[in-house]
Amino acid sequence: DAGVIQSPRHEVTEMGQEVTLRCKPISGHNSLFWYRQTMMRGLELLIYFNNNVPIDDSGMPEDRFSAKMPNASFSTLKIQPSEPRDSAVYFCASTTSGGVEAFFGQGTRLTVV
C-alpha cells in the first residue's frame, strides 16, 4: 500500500496566486481530512469528508479556501488568492469509517512570498 499521497511536496508561490494542493487517500478509506500545521497554532482541522461529502468545513479560514472531493480517490484544497499568512504545512489524512488510526500523507510545505 502506497499510503496517503500528497502533491506537491513543496510549493513556493507569490502572494495573490492560486495554489492547488492534491491528495490521494488510501484505497478503501472513506474519510478524508485536511489539516494545516504551523508553529503558532499547531495542527488544525480545516475540513473533512465522509464518502466524498464535506461534513464539516468550519475550520476553513475564509472564502479564499475551498476543498473538493470529486471521487473516492482524489481531493483538492485550493487557496485563491494566496497570502503570506497561508504559509504552513498542509496535511491530508484518511481513515476508514469508525477507524482508530488516521494515516497522514507527507504533507505539502507551502510558502507564500
Partner 1 sequence: RKEVEQDPGPFNVPEGATVAFNCTYSNSASQSFFWYRQDCRKEPKLLMSVYSSGNEDGRFTAQLNRASQYISLLIRDSKLSDSATYLCVAQGGNTPLVFGKGTRLSVIA
Report the interface residues with partner 1, using CB under 8 A. Answer: 31, 33, 35, 41-43, 45, 48, 56, 91, 98, 100-102, 104-107
Q: Which is nearer to partner 1, 82 or 94 (CB)?
A: 94
Nearer to partner 1 (CB atom), residue 72 or residue 102? 102
Residue nearer to partner 1 on the CB measure, 12 or 15: 12
- Smallest distance from the beta carbon of 70 to partner 1, in angstroms? 21
CA 45, 15, 24, 6 torsion-angle sign? negative
HSE-up of 33 (CA within 13 Å, CB side)? 18
- The residue type found at 109 is R
Closest approach, Cβ 46 to partner 1, in A, equals 11
Nearer to partner 1 by C-beta: 74 or 104? Answer: 104
Q: Nearest distance from residue 17's CB to partner 1, in Å?
A: 24
Q: Which of 85, 112, 113, 111 is nearest to 9 (CA)?
A: 111
For the CB of residue 38, give the shortest distance to partner 1 in the complex, in Å.
10
Closest CA to 13 of 75, 99, 72, 79: 79
